Chains A and B, each alone.
Chain A
Amino acid sequence: MSTNRPEVSAVEALDEDTLHRREDRRDRWLTVGTFASLLGLWAAVTGSGLWEPLIKPLFLPSPVAVWEALLRLIEQGYQGRSLGHHVGVSFQRFATAFSFCVLIGVPLGLLMGMHRPTRAVLEPPIQAIRPIPKLALLPLFLIWFGIGNLSKIVVIAAPVFPLIAISAMQAVRSVSTRKIQAAQALGASAWVVFWRVVLPASLPGIFTGIRVSISLGVTMLVGAELTATSDGIAWMALTAAEYLSTDIVLVGVLIMATMGYSLDRLVRAIETRVVHWSGKD
């Protein structure tokens, strides 16, 4: 082999794998560039203490001010509680609601996909509930579930649950009949068809539903912590707004954004590992 000859290896370097790696690297830089430009633009219009701000700090504090607010919050906490506590409480509310939705919604969606009578009973009410803005139900949730954590978990779960259940149902219904027939013709019982064919074939769709609902769930934190609470990261942002502390509002918003983004990346990492066949049909 003549791989040690530079002109040959240069040609070999253009094989498909290398091209893909190059494109991946380019895409990563583009992403980093996007964030850097947004940060730069933000720093520019707010002056960052270097020049006269285009937008007053009251409306949009500079990145430096937000950074300082974050450090101050880490050091002193907010309204008598540490920042970690606020983040932790919010995450707990989100995680409880989300786990419930996945643990109940996915099996229920699978059942709805497999069993027509169940679908006939459950799909119409679930679909009818979906367009209702859940925030409008907040006062009702408070009356029904009290001012404790339960009502907050319900607010988050209310829009997430139907989304996860319906997407699991759709995933089951879009499993190719051919694959099911192939399994049946190989002697598989209904049980084996479900576990070895329908369930794995639905996993990509289920993961998509879960990923879409992460951002929805994080968004609903704002609704959950709108009233009847004295902790949580959304509550921090909401109360800080009342005192016009826009820097703290932005810290809260950015923490929620980071939370949603990291969770999405986490699920995506699990997804590529578990459903390696996704999109290969």
Chain B
Amino acid sequence: MLRDDLIPLEPVALDAPERRTSALLAIDQLGKTFGSGTGQVQALSPTDLYVQEGDFLCVVGPSGCGKTTLLNLVAGFERPSSGQVRLRGQPITGPGAERGVVFQQGALFNWMTVLENVAFGPRACGVNPEAARQRARQLLQMVGLDSFADKYPYQLSGGMQQRVGIARALANEPGILLMDEPFAALDQQTRELLQEEIRNIWRRERKTVLWITHSIDEALFLATHIAVMTARPGRIKAAFRSPFNETEDPLVAATPAFTAAKRQIVELLRGESRQAQAQETAA
């Protein structure tokens, strides 16, 4: 690749009001403060963010910057201190089946077989048992685990468990997938393999994804859009379109263009990470 190709990432205003009307997920002035009085901690300062149908948005930021808080608010696990989240215009008031969530680890039900885990969502939503199992089998096939349907989650490797988690989150055909650092606990090889698979699934289904990660490589590889967050109290510092999401090259991470893009984000994040560490030592 030529030196001239190393154009910087294209900035995009995810909070632009004109994105708001067409947004699948509209986050308006969403803020979260924990505790009260002197122990008060502002985790997320009021943020606007609009996600379009089919977007794959990765949120990167230093640890403790409030990116998981953002996801928890969208998932409905926590209540906002200010602002609101709307999915297809409907305000979010609690957890719901139209938002599939995948956690880092430890969220599978070890007392159910893999098949029962994946069928849990449809069953909870009133689908009859046979149809739910049918759907679960299809999804397990999609993530390559059909032969493990009758095993228990604890009998699977970490990577396989995450596949089950993804299949389970997809089982209700949610409007959006919320992923909270789903691959952070996996080893490098497994992670890369799963990243490719996720991208293939996304290309096929064009599911809208909100993906929290601290890995810039992961964000560049997977996302159509990347939002960079500041240290606490978190807010969106900058957002970009990522051009690498459409590439066929599995080794795209080794290209100069990728490195340049990574550099661009790292430089944005460095000051923030330092600040985050200073906050931690102060606390």
Q: List chain A positions with a Cβ less than 8 A from chain B.
A: 176, 178-179, 181-189, 192, 196-197, 200-201, 203, 275-277, 280-281
Contacts and interface: CB of A to CB of B under 8 A. Distances in A.
B125 interface: yes
A119 B100 CA distance: 32
Nearest to B152: A277
Contact of B95 (A179, A185, A196, A203): A185
B106 A277 contact: no
A277 B100 contact: no
Interface string B151-195: 010100000000000001101100000100000000000000000
A187 B111 CA distance: 19
Contact of A277 (B96, B111, B124): B111
Contact of B124 (A192, A201, A276, A280): A192
Chain B interface SS verdict (over half): loop
Contact of A181 (B77, B109, B121, B124): B77
Given A181-B103, A185-B76, A201-B109, 17 more contacts: A179-B107, A179-B109, A182-B107, A183-B120, A184-B76, A185-B75, A185-B96, A185-B97, A185-B101, A185-B169, A185-B178, A186-B100, A186-B121, A187-B121, A189-B124, A196-B109, A196-B120
Interface of B: 75-77, 94-97, 99-101, 103, 106-112, 120-121, 124-125, 152, 154, 168-169, 171-172, 178
A280 B101 CA distance: 22
B152 A276 contact: yes
B33 to A, nearest CB: 20
Given A188-B124, A189-B124, A181 B101 contact: yes
A281 B106 contact: yes
Give the interface centre of A178, A187, A188, A280 by most chain B CB atoms within 10 Å: A187
A186 B103 contact: no
Contacts of B125: 186-187
